[in-house]
Amino acid sequence: MDPNKQALLVLLVAALSFEGAHCIKCFDCTSVNNSMCLDPTVYDAETLQKYLPSVECHAGLFTAATHEDFFCRKIVQAVLHKNHDSEVRVTRGCGYVRHRKDCYKADNEDHLETVCQCFKDDCNGAATLRNVGVAATVLTAAAVLGLSFKL
């Protein structure tokens, strides 16, 4: 076989067998700095792109994560203040250490939180995650506050 044709064939096979890297895109925000982070589903695509754009998740300098390891995460916290009303904070971003459950709750001394993970572009702004996370955290916070006032 002609050396040029052989080289072209090798390049063609290599190009066809190469799997491109895909980075998942996630909303990356906190409601402390951007109130749109509380519920991105109420905004149109143009407004979201301008004020709450998605980011591509990339491995940081100190992580061993690959592009396939990343996912989107949403954290809803009910922060319990002793001397004034509690507040709800939402944080959305990329993650790379997966939990065995898609959503789980954590009950800490000064806050309650619901953490959800998902695996499609911009899924951490989805209504399903919002309903599970916010409702569960707010109901749990209300129950804890109700119990604490009775003690």
Provide the domain count of the chain. Answer: 1
- Would residue 81 count as lying in a domain? yes
Residue 68 to residue 58: CA distance in whole angstroms: 10
Residue 49 to residue 52: CA distance in whole angstroms: 6
CB 129 within 8 A of CB 116: yes
pTM: 0.66
Q: What pLDDT does residue 35 have?
A: 94
- Would residue 61 count as lying in a domain? yes
- Would residue 8 count as lying in a domain? no
- Would residue 89 count as lying in a domain? yes
- Would residue 11 count as lying in a domain? no
Residue 94 to residue 55: CA distance in whole angstroms: 8
- Would residue 4 count as lying in a domain? no
pLDDT tens digits, residue range 52-96? Answer: 988 999 866 555 556 568 999 999 999 888 888 889 999 999 998
Q: What pLDDT does residue 62 have?
A: 55
Q: What is the extent of the structural domain holding 123?
A: 22-150
- Would residue 15 count as lying in a domain? no
- Would residue 7 count as lying in a domain? no
Burial class (CB in 10 A: 0-12, 13-18, 19+), 37: buried
Is the pLDDT at 41 greater than 60? The verdict is yes
Is the pLDDT at 133 greater than 50? The verdict is no
- Mean pLDDT for all residues in the chain: 76
Sheet containing 71-79: order of strands: 29-30, 87-95, 71-79, 111-118, 103-107
CATH code of residue 62 = 2.10.60.10
